[in-house]
Amino acid sequence: MAQKNIRNFSIIAHIDHGKSTLADRFLELTGALAKKDITKQVLDSMDLEKERGITIKAHAVRLAYESSDGVTYVLNLIDTPGHVDFSYEVSRSLASCEGAVLVVDATQGVEAQTLANTYLALEHNLEIIPVINKIDLPQAEPQRIIQQIEDIIGLDCSEAIEASAKSGIGVNKILEAIVHKIPPPKGDATAPLRALIFDSWFDNYKGVIVMVRVFDGSIRPGMVITMMSTDKTFEITDVGVFTPRLQLMNELKCGEVGFISAAIRNVEDTKIGDTITNALNPAKEPLLGYKEIKPMVFCGIYPTETNDYEALRDALFKLRLNDASFSFDPEPSTALGFGFRCGFLGLLHMDIIKERLEREFNLSLINTAPTVVYRITIKGDTVVYVDNPTLLPEHYDKLEEPYILATIFVPERFVGNVLDLCREKRGVQKEFTFYGKDRVKVVYELPMNEILWDFYDKLKSISKGYASMDYEFIGFKESDLVKLDILINGTALDALSTIIHKEKSYYKGRQIVENLRAVVPRQMYEVAIQAAIGGKIIARESVKALRKDVIAKCYGGDITRKRKLLEKQKEGKKRMKQFGKVEIPQEAFLAVMRVGK
Amino acid sequence: MLIREIVLRCAEISQIRTIYFGGGTPTVLSNESFSAVMRTFYDNFEFHPDAEITVEANPVTIQGDYDTLLLLKQLGVNRISLGVQSFCDEVLKSLGRLHSKADAREAIRRVSEIYPNFSLDLMYAIPGQSMGMWQETVNEALSYNPAHISAYELTPEEHTPLWDDIKAGKIQITDEDITIEMYEFLTSTLKIAGFDHYEISNYALRDRQCQHNLNYWRRGLYTGVGAAAHSHVAVDGVIKRYSNAANITAYTEAINNGTLPIVDELIVTESEAERERIFLGLRTSYGVHFENIPKAAVELLTAGLIEINGNIITLTEKGFLVSNFCIGKLI
């Protein structure tokens, strides 16, 4: 395929604005799949993705499209993950494209995520094709939405396409625009190989499958390649594309998008954003933009049943084969036994991994409250990073917490609520702009710690679901933080320690002990629950000793019901963690997270 | 209908050791019907020479009915259980009972004349019931020299008006400390009066334990007849528990077809049977035999909640008070 007939593009859209439906329509119109084979949204192949409606892993599909000019073009549709946790993956997918289709719902308008990804695309000099989707809905307002895109993004929308992916309106127009507006890939076919890794996953038969965009040169089976960030070399076994079925090729040429496999056993060796080159004829410089992605959110994950530790370890190893962006290290806890401290890109990433562990590996797990990474300076110049509140040293010179820059879009009628929320979360306003009649963009600097607890849920509820948010990490800042310990009968329960802002510590300490009192069952002895900062008790509750059960009758008709009740009680007991003489139920470990404000 | 079911059940029963006619029997069944039911038993089954035949009665219906009490006696009934609950009109009203304390007194007088073996049901921790009221009730109950006393704590059940009132905050449940005091007054007073606290909520004079209920707690077999009655039977070596249909139409239909109106049949597995043995046994003062004493027993023993004699664990008076907790540890 001649380089000039290749078009590499992504679709940028907010959740539910119609990205997957449009992709399905492309597959159908180009004959890649018969209509009956399209099992609703082919690109989202993982069950979890389908359930959450979010694309977690990027894929790429190669389509052959015969344009109205009589030429057949190769269209490479590179899918992008739809959540802020995976923004680096998005940026690498976009870097592999020359253009993007921007899909905006004609009834909803621009959302924060759309804006962030469009800006990313513009940074990479991508040609943007604006599409106003769902124009067949009665409440569609295409003109207002076009105006909004021009105002907010500053994008010329004079040639925006009005479409309905669901009913097929305008889809041909979009394909034509892709062919005629998006430029063909540049790149030197004769230069040494440079291919960008934008996705990779583990396959039981082929080892790691690596999705690449070839920028210079070409790549063939038998070639020995070098990963430029690590200098590791591998011999290519297969190259090919997904149409969406896997199809082997003789080579991937300059400008093309496809996969390679090279008997790579470890997904960590194929870092997203890395450049692949020819080991025998290496490129001088890697492609721009590579960075090591680091987990931002940490929590302890423990098996409910102590003897499931090995099973949990095996499951974590297996999941990591497919996802090098989360980390895990063994971690012992006095309260929870042996488990792992796991690091994730964000909260959604954490939820996904935990859900997969429980669902795919049939494990029952307890996780501790998520925490960010703190930067601590000791003895003037030693810098350490702490991802577990229990490990915070007693003395330090400086304690810094990570900050984010959050961009929030919200209808004007809810903006007051959003400002209150951001202030409450220690936010500093950086921007406040009106767009059109009623849309406001607010930008805040916020401590990342504050958005871990319940920020997103609150944002949604105070805006009736209308606010959207995107954020990026901007660095560490010194804060007045303290470690809040929870003591059960005088001994600190390590898994319940948190690091929080001093001003909020009293309120939170009180809330946590109150929540705990409600979930810790009465036992033979009184249980004292205390919150402490640096040895000073700031709140106390007690669970009174159990003094009586109900004295009830138990005759012939009561026996089975009573037996089942006792068995249920026993089952609940099994899931409790023994801490000294006290039995702590699982809910206790969530009690810390359920603290409002 | 009842008679037809009894006949259908012939195969299940080898010998009758106890019969218990549950709540309201003398009211629901006319004297003629009751006679017919009893005759059916005598015609179809062999009776143990010391068979215990109990009728549960409530004070309103039985008090003026000397003839019925005599007839029951003639038909072989040898034990009456009276649902007195309280000797305080205020408390009886709060419980929604139809009888007054005068009705209760009159009923006891009549019953005790004919049946030396009678039992009184009492209830405590009732909203509006003071410690003093409860003491008076217990003392008065003892003054009639009953052979047996059952005493339960009021347990609000879901979907009852009482439950709704408590949820709505209209009625306050009895304070935990007062409930414990009531229980302690009951156990100590009955002990002094010579009663054996032989099950969590049952007390009896020597040899006056309710044989019928003991059979439940010893995991004995029993057959329940009538709508919604429960059974525990062995069919070809398989132990089952089931109940009859509670719905009268469904019940009648099955009997008319010559079948048993069984619903919710459950085969009791070996491990379930073992758990039944433990929890039912621990409810009684006879305790449970453990092949190996469970580890958790040590903690309970030091807390004074259980006693261990050889391999038999029994709950103490203090242990009865937190029986679910103890059973949960030992099961």
How do residues A182-239 score in pLDDT, each as one tens digit? 999 999 999 999 999 998 888 878 888 899 999 999 999 999 999 999 999 999 999 9
Which of A546, A549, A563 is nearest residue B275 as measured by Cβ atoms?
Answer: A563
H or E element at residue A66: strand A60-66
- Residue B63 is predicted with a pLDDT of 66
Cα distance between residue B263 and residue B240, in whole Å: 12
ipTM of the complex: 0.92
Among the ranges given (A199-208, A358-367, B211-220, B304-313), the one the predictor scored with the smallest mean pLDDT: A199-208
Query: Would you mind telling me the total number of residues written for chain B in this entry?
Result: 331
Cβ partners under 8 Å of residue B228, min gap 6: A557, B243, B244, B245, B246
Using the beta-carbon criterion (under 8 Å), do A551 and B200 form an inter-chain contact?
yes
**What DSSP state is assigned to residue B11?**
G
Cβ partners under 8 Å of residue B108, min gap 6: B59, B82, B84, B118, B120, B144
Q: Which amino acid is at B291?
A: E
Question: Is B151 strand, coil or helix?
Answer: strand
Contacts of B150 in chain A (CB under 8 A): 553
Which residue in A302, A371, A372 sits closest to A334, CA to CA?
A302
Tell me the mean pLDDT in the region A52-56.
40
- Residue A352 is predicted with a pLDDT of 87
Which residue in B51, B32, B48 sits closest to B40, CA to CA?
B32
B34-88: pLDDT as tens digits: 999 999 999 999 999 999 999 998 888 776 678 889 999 999 999 999 999 999 9
Query: What is the pTM (predicted TM-score) of this model?
Result: 0.70
**R_g of chain A, CA atoms, integer Å:** 27
Which residue in B136, B73, B130 sits closest to B104, CA to CA?
B136
Chain A: give the shortest CA distance to residue B58, in Å: 18
Cα distance between residue A531 and residue A539, in whole Å: 5
Residue A596 has pLDDT above 80, yes or no: no
Cα distance between residue A591 and residue A484, in whole Å: 14
Chain B: give the shortest CA distance to residue A168, in Å: 55
Residue A535 has pLDDT above 80, yes or no: yes
Q: How far is CA B145 from CA A391, B134, B205, in A?
A: 70, 18, 10
Contact A78, A60 (CB under 8 A): yes
Using the beta-carbon criterion (under 8 Å), do A524 and B299 form an inter-chain contact?
yes
B179-209: pLDDT as tens digits: 999 999 999 999 999 999 999 999 999 999 9
Residue found under tokens 């990963």:
A227
- Residue A49 is predicted with a pLDDT of 46
Question: Is A409 strand, coil or helix?
Answer: strand
Tell me the mean pLDDT in the region A246-255.
93
Which of B153, B183, B279 is nearest residue A563 as measured by Cβ atoms?
Answer: B279
Contacts of A564 in chain B (CB under 8 A): none
Using the beta-carbon criterion (under 8 Å), do B275 and A562 form an inter-chain contact?
no
Cβ partners under 8 Å of residue A406, min gap 6: A422, A427, A443, A444, A445, A446, A451, A469, A470, A471
Contact A204, A261 (CB under 8 A): no
Angle value at C-alpha B208, between B207 and B210, nearest 5 degrees: 120
Return the residue of B nearest to A568 by Cα.
B328
Sorted by where each starts, the structural domains of chain B and their CATH numbers stand as 2-208 (3.20.20.70), 219-268 (no CATH), 272-330 (no CATH)
B155 at interface of A, judged by CB pairs closer than 8 A: yes
A545 at interface of B, judged by CB pairs closer than 8 A: no
**Percent above pLDDT 70 for chain A:** 94
Contact A214, A97 (CB under 8 A): no
DSSP notation for A146-211: HHHHHHHH----TTPEE-BTTTTBTHHHHHHHHHHHSPPP---TTSPPEEEEEEEEEETTTEEEEE
H or E element at residue A376: strand A374-378
Return the residue of A nearest to B121 by Cα.
A553
Using the beta-carbon criterion (under 8 Å), do A524 and B283 form an inter-chain contact?
no
Which of B152, B177, B232 is nearest residue A552 as measured by Cβ atoms?
Answer: B152
B284 pLDDT band, cuts 50/70/90, is very high
In three-state form (DSSP H/G/I as H, E/B as E, the rest C), the secondary structure along A488-523 is ECCEECHHHCEEEEHHHHHHHHHHHHHHHHHHCCCC
Cα distance between residue B308 and residue A397, in whole Å: 60
A562 at interface of B, judged by CB pairs closer than 8 A: yes
Return the residue of B nearest to A524 by Cα.
B303
Which residue in B324, B305, B325, B302 sits closest to B313, CA to CA?
B305
Cα distance between residue A257 and residue A241, in whole Å: 7
Cα distance between residue A41 and residue A30, in whole Å: 15
Contacts of A524 in chain B (CB under 8 A): 299, 303, 325
- Residue A367 is predicted with a pLDDT of 86
Question: Is B76 strand, coil or helix?
Answer: coil
Most A CBs within 10 Å, among B186, B190, B230, to test the A interface: B230
Residue B211 has pLDDT above 90, yes or no: yes
B152 at interface of A, judged by CB pairs closer than 8 A: yes
Positions of E strands within A231-336: 233-235, 238-242, 246-249, 257-261, 275-278, 297-303, 327-333
Contact A505, A533 (CB under 8 A): yes
Which long-range contacts does B69-76 make (Cβ < 8 Å, 24+ apart)? B69/B110, B69/B111, B69/B114, B69/B115, B70/B114, B71/B31, B71/B34, B71/B35, B72/B26, B72/B34, B73/B114, B73/B115, B75/B34, B75/B35, B75/B38, B76/B38, B76/B42, B76/B51
A94 pLDDT band, cuts 50/70/90, is very high
Using the beta-carbon criterion (under 8 Å), do B179 and A569 form an inter-chain contact?
no
Size of interface A-B (CB pairs under 8 A): 84
Among the ranges given (B90-104, B158-172, B180-194), the one the predictor scored with the smallest mean pLDDT: B158-172
Contacts of B245 in chain A (CB under 8 A): none
Angle value at C-alpha B87, between B85 and B89, nearest 5 degrees: 100
Q: How far is CA A129 from CA A58, A133, A147, A522, B309, in A?
A: 20, 12, 15, 63, 86
Angle value at C-alpha A592, between A588 and A596, nearest 5 degrees: 130
Return the residue of B nearest to A549 by Cα.
B322
B107-116: pLDDT as tens digits: 999 999 999 9
Residue A417, both tokens:
């609520």
Chain A: give the shortest CA distance to residue B113, in Å: 28
B60 at interface of A, judged by CB pairs closer than 8 A: no
Chain B: give the shortest CA distance to residue A342, in Å: 35
Using the beta-carbon criterion (under 8 Å), do A556 and B232 form an inter-chain contact?
yes
Residue A408, both tokens:
């929030």
Mean pLDDT score of chain A = 88
Cα distance between residue A36 and residue A28, in whole Å: 9
User: A56 — alpha (psi -120 to 50), left (phi > 0) or beta?
Assistant: alpha
Question: Is A86 strand, coil or helix?
Answer: helix
A441-500: pLDDT as tens digits: 999 999 998 888 778 888 888 988 778 888 888 999 999 999 999 999 999 988 889 999
Tell me the mean pLDDT in the region B299-320.
94
A574 at interface of B, judged by CB pairs closer than 8 A: no
Residue A46 has pLDDT above 60, yes or no: no
> Cα–chain-centroid distance for residue A222?
36
- Residue B27 is predicted with a pLDDT of 65
- Residue A44 is predicted with a pLDDT of 45
Contacts of B327 in chain A (CB under 8 A): 566
